[in-house]
Amino acid sequence: MKIAALKYGESVFGENYIFKGGNKDKRLPISFTIYLIQTESKNILVDAGCDDGAGFEMSLFKKPIAVLKEYGLSPNDITDVIITHSHHDHTEAVKYYENAVIHIQRNEYAAAKRYIPKSFTVHLIDDTFSLTENVIIKKIGGHSIGSCIVLADNYVFCGDECYYEKCLTDKICTGASYNEELSRTFIEEYGKDTYVPLLFHDPGIMTGRIGYMRIK
């Protein structure tokens, strides 16, 4: 199995969204990152990103599909796209992956389907789905009604269940939880040392540049 981070933007976000109880007048740096998992038979994107910055003022930006091409793959090479949740910055650019199966939690689909062309193959998930023996999609429901994470060996693709690694190490929920109790349950389990968290907005990912980075 190979894993790569595909970072396509940098911006800032309110501290009150990144951490529960944060200062609403303070802005902290964030990244915009999606991930690629490659197995012997599949090229799997975890989230698709967006082409327009999702309303954020980007200090660095490149379309996610361009970063994928820099890595050496075309949209037609992608076999599966996992959407962790329906928010625009995770979903809008799914439109390029017409050969892929789009996996999304059932309760997230209503909000996400405007981004997914009707001709695409969509697989709806309830609670847990094994895409391969070592790649498992799991509903958490902390960030949004059906928000999911992806488990690949000991790696945890966190979606927006947390924005910074500090959320896990210091056990702080984000300020943008749909269900804080489920967010805390996620933090308690996946903040354990046995897991390697892969985050989608932590500024520590390739600070000051965009592009790809091999993780495994």
| pLDDT (tens digit per residue) in 177-209 | 999 999 999 999 999 999 999 999 999 999 999
Between CA 215 and CA 153 the distance in angstroms is 13
Say if residue 81's pLDDT is above 90: yes
Per domain, the residue ranges of the chain are 2-214
To the question of pTM greater than 0.85 for the whole model, the response is: yes
Q: Output the pLDDT for position 206.
A: 96
Indicate the pLDDT class of residue 53, thresholds 50, 70 and 90: confident
Pair of tokens at residue 100: 């892929």
State the average pLDDT over residues 88-95.
98
Instruction: Evaluate whether 96 touches 59 at the Cβ level (below 8 Å).
Output: no
In the chain, the amino acid numbered 4 is A
Between CA 2 and CA 22 the distance in angstroms is 36
- The CATH classification number of 2-214 equals 3.60.15.10
Q: Output the pLDDT for position 77.
A: 98
Between CA 133 and CA 127 the distance in angstroms is 17
State the average pLDDT over residues 56-85.
97
The helix/strand/coil state of 79 is: coil
Q: Output the pLDDT for position 54.
A: 86
State the average pLDDT over residues 70-87.
98
